[in-house]
Every structure is written in structure tokens, then in C-alpha cells.
Amino acid sequence: MNPEKSKKELPGTDFDLEEFLPYLLNQAAEATSLSFQTIYAEKYGMTRTQWRVLANLGKFGSMMAKDICRISHVEKSKVSRAIAALESAGFLRREVKADDRRAEGLHLTPSGLDAFRKLGKKALEYDRELRGRLGPAEAKRLVVALRDLARLQSR
Amino acid sequence: MNPEKSKKELPGTDFDLEEFLPYLLNQAAEATSLSFQTIYAEKYGMTRTQWRVLANLGKFGSMMAKDICRISHVEKSKVSRAIAALESAGFLRREVKADDRRAEGLHLTPSGLDAFRKLGKKALEYDRELRGRLGPAEAKRLVVALRDLARLQSR
DNA sequence: TAAGATTGAGTACTCAATCTTG
DNA sequence: CAAGATTGAGTACTCAATCTTA
């Protein structure tokens, strides 16, 4: 019988984008990011990087720019510009350290803390929705796999 | 005893970026994309979008720009610019359709086909490496979960 | 010289507007 | 007007260079 594949394909490689893990990861990341993005973008005028910086400050309290870089694996110029934007939006305050005047301590303002709380609440709801879609067991397995893959280089 | 959490946290939300599925997906997607990116970027001067367009043409043979948009969920202006870049790099040829002169049939040139074969081979190797890292069973579960999540909106 | 952080130049992305053909 | 595709303007990203303080 030797049935042909229904899709027309050129010879020379078996490669299929739809089976390529980096591509599938990207598609899932994009899809899950988009609906949450509308919340921080439309209601708070934030970019994804700004939201990440806010989330780190919300979680850890006060920290320096380089800490955010290390923890969130975001490139330093992105962090620097996100900090500047969050500051001029009134979400964040900087404070030059007395003992080392190269470094700045970053803190959320009351307005920034409020934004973090509201966005954090929405994020938790959304995350529960996603995990509910997968089921709790699959969601846990997914998290383990993603953490493993993310360990690949960390930039 | 009531032990305190070791991390310092502000009150008001339980949200933790490190547990947020969209964030974890993004980190894994970035990490897995980066090492493969060096191949198509450094050896062929391609962007991610260009590589995706090439991969679709390699898989499906000849198609129109709108087909690439639909299949790969890439925005049309990105596809349009990627096509222009691939064409001027000599990887792709366009051919205005006789029956509908709005549309263009896109085909890989011999050089484009060669690039697709070589990159496809590298991609397969890399994908096997990633799946090997997870183990075959986990890799399959991951793919199912990712496809499920990617179905969320499709732009 | 190195560390923390910012800046500049070039590239890529987003999304609405536009062009051309049907 | 609709469909296929391109373009323009504004925004964000990348990466190397720079600035300031240690």
C-alpha cells in the first residue's frame, strides 16, 4: 500500500516547524501572554518588561537594577529603560545608596504597590484559569519541564 | 512555631512571577530559541521571522503570503518584510499569479532550499537534544500541553 | 580597572493606513 | 467595498560604547 503523506512536501529533510519544540514553546508563550498583556498595557500603559520589573519589586520589596537583571534574566538596558518609564509614571522611586553612589535602591510608590496588587490579583486568576485548562497534574509537570528547559543558558 | 517565609515579601498579594505560567513559558521559549538562533542568524543572516517563513516554504513548497500568516500565526507586515528580505538574499522567488494579480506565489530558490535543508537538519538535531533532555514521554506531554495553550487565541 | 547603570545607533516589531486588483 | 499585500510612524529591542563611582 505505502500510503503517501497528504501534505505536499519537498524532499531533503524531515523537519517540521509544527513539531519543533522552540516553536511550540513560542506559540504557547505568545498566546498566553497576549490576553494578560491587554490588562497591563491598556489599564496601566505598561510594556511586558515594565510589568516584569514591577512584579519583581512587588515580590522582593526593594532591590537594585542589577538584581532585577539577574533574577528575571532581562537584559540591563531593557531594565534601565523600564525603570525610567515606571518612575516617570509614578510607580517607582529611586534612591541613591549612601554607601555606594553607583547603585540605586528601587522601591514601589503607593501607586506602584496598588498596581502590583491589582495586576497580581488578575495574574493569579489568569494563571488558575490556565492551570485549570490543563488540569493540576499536567500543570505541575509542565512547570517542571519549563524550568528544566529554561535552565539551558540563562543568557 | 509559625515559621516565616525566608523571602522578604510585601503584603497584599500572593502573586509570584516565578510561578506564573506565561512567564515560565516565555523563559523556556527564550532559552530554547537562543542557541538555535545563533545558527540561522550568524550563518544565514536571518531573523526569527525569516527562518519561520523559510521553514514554511520548505515544508509546503509553494504558497502565498496570506497562507504563511494563517499557518504560522505571524502578523502580515512581519511576513511581508521577511519575504522581501529573503528575496533580496536570494533565498526566495515571487511569481505573480496569472489568475489573480493581487496574489504572489512564493517559492524557495535552490539556495533557499539548501538553506532550509541545512537548517532543518540542525533543527532536528537540536529538537532531539531537547526531547532527550526531557525524556520522550515528558516531551510528548509537553507538546500536547503547549498545543492546548497555543489554541487560546491564535491572534 | 571593574561595577552599576545609562545612552546611541541600528534593527525589528506593532498597528493603522494605503495601494492594487477583484 | 473586499482581499492580498506593502508602507509609515511610533515603539521596543539589541548590543556595544559611555558615564560615574569604587
Question: Who wins on pLDDT, B7 or A141?
Answer: A141
Q: What is the pLDDT of residues A144-153, one digit of tens each?
A: 999 999 988 6
Using alpha carbons, list the distances in angstroms from residue A12 to A54, B114, B150: 48, 9, 29
In this complex, which residue's CA is closest to the C1' atom of nucleotide C8? A77
Q: What is the residue-level pLDDT of chain B in tens, covering all 155 positions? A: 444 444 444 466 789 999 999 999 999 999 999 989 999 999 999 999 999 999 999 999 999 999 999 998 999 999 999 999 999 999 999 999 999 999 999 999 999 999 999 999 999 999 999 999 999 999 999 999 999 999 886 53
Nearest CB among B10, B21, B34 relative to A113 is that of B10
Which residue intervals of B16-62 are DSSP H helices? 21-38, 44, 48-60
Report which of A79, A88, A86, A94 is spatially closest to residue A112, judged by C-alpha positions: A86
A30 contacts on B by Cβ (under 8 Å): 73, 150
CA-based nearest distance B50→chain A, Å:
13
Measured distance CA(B102)–CA(A36) in Å, rounded: 36
Q: Which residues pair with A94 in a beta bridge?
A: A106
- Checking if the pLDDT of A142 tops 70, the result is yes
Residue from A138, A152, A155 whose CB has the most chain B CBs within 10 Å, to mutate:
A152
Q: What is the pLDDT of residues A33-60, one digit of tens each?
A: 998 999 999 999 999 999 999 999 999 9
- Checking if the pLDDT of A155 tops 80, the result is no
- Is the separation of the CB atoms in A79 and A69 below 8 Å? yes
B52 contacts on A by Cβ (under 8 Å): 17, 23
